[in-house]
Structures are given as C-alpha cells and as structure tokens.
Amino acid sequence: MNSCGFFYPDFLNIIYNQLMEKKEIVNRIELINDPELNDFLIYLTQVLSYSALTAKSYGEDVAAFLLFLKKANKPKDQVDKETIRMYLLDLNIANIDHASIKRAISALRHFYRYLCHYKNFANNPFETISSPKKAKKLPEFLTFEEVTDFLDSNKKRTDFLAKRDQAILELMFASGLRAGEVISLRTTDLDMEQRLVKVVGKGSKERIIPFSKTAKLALEDYQEDLRPRLLKEKKDEGILFLNSQGSPITERGLEYLVKESALKSGFSLKVHPHMLRHSFATELLNNGTDLRVIQELLGHESINTTSIYTHVSFEDLKKTYERCFPKAKITNEDNTMKKAVIFDFNGTMFFDEEKHVASWKKFAKDEFNVTLKDEDFAENIHGKNNNAILTYLTGQVFTPEEVAKYAEKKELSYQKLCEEDQKNLHLVKGIKSFLSFLNSKNIPIAIATASMKPNVDWYLKTFDLLKWFKEENIIYDDGTLTKGKPNPMIYQRGMKTLNCLPNNCIVFEDAISGVKSAYNAKAGLVVAVERPERVESFKKMKEVNLVIQDFENLPAEIYDFLGVKNQ
C-alpha cells in the first residue's frame, strides 16, 4: 500500500508518481479509498490500456459519486434511479456544467458495467440514464474592430516570419478558410489579378472565393520576399505557406502560428484559426449578406450548419430594430462614443489592504503551514483570484468545490477583521459623490473584483452599493473567470457587460496585476488608486496613465476623457 492508501501494483505506483510530479491531485480518490474503485482503475489501465490521466478522470468522477453515497448512507449495490436523480440534482445545484455531468454519467455507467461483470453486482443503474444534451456552443468570433486591431498590430511586427503570418491572417479573415484549406493552398490557386483563391474543401469540393486588397498586398509581399528565403535550397513543390524550415505548415503548426501572432503583436485576446473563419462569416451576416451566399463561401453542405451564424450582437439587433421602428429609439447615443467606468473594489473603493494581508497570512499559516511575507503580496496575492492564490500557496490544483471551501474560511476571517474596525469600515473618501455624479450623467459603471460571491454579497450589504450599481454590472469570480489578473479577461467581461469599446473605458485599480489587466484589456485610461508611499512607483509603470490617492478633487483628465464638466 502506498502513502495514499492505494493498493497499486508497481506500474500504477509509477503512474501515480508521474501525476503527482505534474502537481495533479487525487483528493476524492484518496478520501474514499474504495477497493472496488481501486480495482476499476487497475482494470482501465492494465486491461483496457487507458492512460493514467484518463483513468484519474474516471476515478475522480466515480469517487465523487461514492462520497455522495457515503453521505447518504447508501450502499453501492442499492443505487436506484431516485438516488441518481438526487445526485444529478446536487451537481446542478453546484453549477457543474453539462459537459462535466455527461462525463460523470459515462464514467459511472462504465464503473457499474465493471461491477456487474467482475464483482457480481445484479444490475447497472446507470444503463438507462440519459446524459444531458450538450448545449449548442456558439462559435467564438472577433468583432470587425477587434480583427482590425489584431491585423494592424501584427503588421507592425519586424521579426523574420512576420510577413508570412500577416499574409495568412489577412487571407483567413478575408476568405473564411478552414485551417486544413489554408495549409493545402498552392501558389497556383491564387489569381492575384482578380483577387480570387481556389479552395479544395471537405469532400474534395472546389470553390472560388474572393479576397481583399489588403490580403493581396500581404500575399504579394510574402511571395516576393520571404517565401523564396524560406525555400532556401529546397525544391519548390508549390505549397503556398511554408514553415521556418521551408516545409509545408501542419494544422497544429497553423494553430501555434495564429496564437503566437496574437502574443507577438501584443493583442490581448486569445485567437485560434477557426475564430477568423467565424469572424468572416459573422461580418458578412452583420452586413446583410444572404445566408445562402455565406453557405457557398464557407463550403457548408447544409444551410443548417451556416444558420448558427445568425447569432448577431445586441448592438446589431438594436440598430436593425431602430432602423425599422425609428419612433422606438430612445437615445441618439452612439455606442462607439459611449464612455464607461469600471472599478476594482478592494484597495480601490475600500481601503482594506491591511485586512486582506492579515487574513491571508493567518489563513496560509492555519491551513497549509505557509508563512507569507509582505513582499509576496504585490505580485502573487493582490488582484489574483482565489484559485491562483491557493495554487501559489501550495503548488497544487484545486477543484471548484475546494476553492469555494477555502475561500469561505479566508473571507469570514477577513470580514470579521473589517467589522471589528468600524472606524475604517467605509468607502474611500470622495467615491460616493463621484458615483452619484456618474449616475447623474448616465455614464455606465461596473465593478470588476477577484472576490467570490459571499464577499460580494457582504460588500453589497455593508456599503449599500446597489444605490449606484446595477447588480448585473458587478463582475466577480463566479468560477467562469478561468484567468485572473493580469490577464485581461475580467475587464474585457466588464467592458462587454457595459457594451462599451475598450478605448472608451476608464479603469480604477490599486494592484500591480490589476493595472496590467486593465492595460492588457486596452482600457482607454488606467487610473491607479494608491497610498502616498507608492504613488511614485506606480507613476513609472507604462500601464498607468494617472495616479490618485482618493476620489476627491479628481484630475481634470478624467472628466475630459468622459466628456463631462467637472463636478
């Protein structure tokens, strides 16, 4: 038996150690320590030759169910449809997504088949349980402004492969090509004079697609300059796009190329090849192109496949509605001109840094015997979500349930410290009048905080925030923010919630990771709210436009940016 209580033979001990080296944890499997589950894992790896990671995934799903049975005092061989129904209800209450529930049912169905075949169980209660239908996932796409920003930023690159990458990106957006179609293109497939490209799509069906003038220029630049250099001494086989070794690009290589182009050009959003195809189709649809024409350009066999692009943005729907019903138009406000303000909360609207430091230090020591130093906070604690902080403290990856459990302990300690210091339990000086001013000018406002819901609820109650903010405009760590600050995700979500372009948003922040997040989200104005001893260091940061100490006597630049007169 190993240290975790598993009855693994030697080869599974090796697998287990490999998983632990990758900081993979098997908390549920350890906790339940069920001999039949252990045998099932051995069966998966030894008999069915499943990988260690797949077996671990199955094991965690089964272990979660066995823990549920243990809590309900229900033996494995007495599970019925009512038991399963209650378990699925628990998963739904916990906001487990459909894909995870579907995977869990599949794992349990497989587990009980094993029990019936090898452990003499009478029946498989999961055999007749239907998996939840997979939600129809809408394609990810970039707006025309975002694509333009991406292509313009990438055009400024000066590295060796920049011209090839620009030609690929321009062509993919201009013609909506699949990844496989791009890497298969030959130089003879291009008609530069007519700006047409011949594409061989699925089922070896050919179609002719036009491309833009900018794509033409990029293609000519690549073919005349870089492509001959990539070929070097190699024989020219006619493949249009080549890798750095002069060989054809693979699909995986194209994915990497697009991802790296975004990173190299400083574009803040994650991009993949199919996203450019989706953006092409969405832009055509938003500009009134008939769905049948889009079907032909994309090479779809069925119009039903193309119809998924009928998701248009709220603004497009609103513009169409207002064009058809002009009397229903309430405002002449142009979204491209609308300004908005997003606030971080902790350390920005409420000076609570000492309370957070004290509660995190106590929590880290009590739970993990880790001693946090003051210098740990600037880069690794302030502005980070709870999941990232827990990983920093332990080097482990936690489940959402574990993150919620630990976060609740820490936040209760933090709230207690705040409530014991009633003298300082108030919003930052000047913020109330500033919020009221923004409301009076109909300037949309939001909060973007790394806190989880229990803390957000406490903030709402303690500071009466709904006096100024709409509840739907308070963005927090609800489990779907997979990347914490300095990643731009939280501020991009805030901007989308307020339906405002990034360069029209002011962000108020106090943390290093926070101002970097706002900068990466391309906020038009990043304002750091800092204590006096840190003002000068924040002024030196390229990500910061202004530094203030509170919200009284705000700089004129803020009001100028918003296009309103000073209070």
Nearest Cα to Cα of residue 347 among 375, 389, 384: 384
User: Considering just the CA atoms, what is the radius of gyration of the chain in Å?
Assistant: 28
- pLDDT above 80 (res 84): yes
Order across the sheet with 505-509: list the strands.
474-475, 445-448, 340-343, 505-509, 525-529, 546-548
Q: Where are the domains of the chain?
A: 10-118, 144-310, 332-567
- 187: which residues sit within 8 A by CB, 6+ positions away? 223, 238, 239, 240
Lowest mean pLDDT among 249-263, 439-453, 472-486: 472-486
SS3 state of residue 136: coil
Those residues whose C-beta lies under 8 Å from the C-beta of residue 155, and which sit 6 or more positions away, are 166
Alpha helices in 189-328 (DSSP H): 213-221, 227-231, 251-264, 273-286, 291-298, 303-306, 314-324
Neighbours of 565 (CB within 10 A): 8
Model pTM score: 0.43
Residue 309: active-site member = yes
Instruction: Say which of 8, 309, 476, 491 is annotated catalytic.
Output: 309
Q: Answer yes or no: 277 catalytic.
A: yes
Is-contact 459 451, C-beta < 8 A?
A: yes
Looking at per-residue pLDDT, the higher value among 398 and 268 belongs to: 398
Of 161-170, 454-463, 511-520, which gets the smallest average pLDDT? 454-463
Catalytic residue among 198, 259, 274, 409: 274
Which is the catalytic residue, given 164, 178, 227, 485? 178
The Cα–Cα gap between 410 and 422 comes to: 20
- Across the range 38-54, mean pLDDT stands at 86
The residue annotated as part of the active site, out of 28, 110, 277, 361, is 277
Q: Quick check: do 144-310 and 332-567 share a fold?
A: no
Confidence of residue 188 (pLDDT cuts 50, 70, 90): very high
Provide the pLDDT confidence category of residue 129 given band limits of 50, 70 and 90: confident
C-alpha closest to that of 341 among 495, 486, 154, 482: 495
* H/E run at residue 507: strand 505-509
Q: What is the pLDDT of residue 337?
A: 66
Q: What is the CATH number of domain 332-567?
A: 3.40.50.1000
- Assess whether pLDDT exceeds 60 at residue 307: yes
Higher pLDDT, 478 or 208: 208
In sequence order, which residues have a C-beta less than 8 Å from that of residue 349 and are 6 or more positions away?
A: 343, 427, 428, 431, 447, 463, 508
DSSP letter (8 states) at residue 422: G
Q: Does residue 534 carry a catalytic annotation?
A: no
Q: Is 103 a catalytic residue?
A: no
Distance CA 400, CA 453 (A): 13
Query: Is residue 382 flagged as an active site residue?
Result: no
Cα 166 to Cα 95: distance, rounded to the nearest angstrom: 41
174 to 219, 283, 336, 402: CA distances (angstroms): 12, 10, 24, 46
pLDDT-derived band at 229 (thresholds 50, 70, 90) equals very high
pLDDT at 15 over 80: no
pLDDT band at 308 (very low <50, low <70, confident <90, very high): low
178 is catalytic: yes
**Beta-ladder partners of 210:** 196
Pick the catalytic residue from 300, 382, 485, 516: 300
- Cα–Cα dist 363/406, whole Å: 9
Catalytic residue among 117, 156, 202, 467: 202
pLDDT over 60 (residue 23): no
Mean of the per-residue pLDDT values of the chain? 83
1.10.443.10, 3.40.50.300, 1.10.760.10, 3.40.50.2300: which CATH number matches 144-310?
1.10.443.10
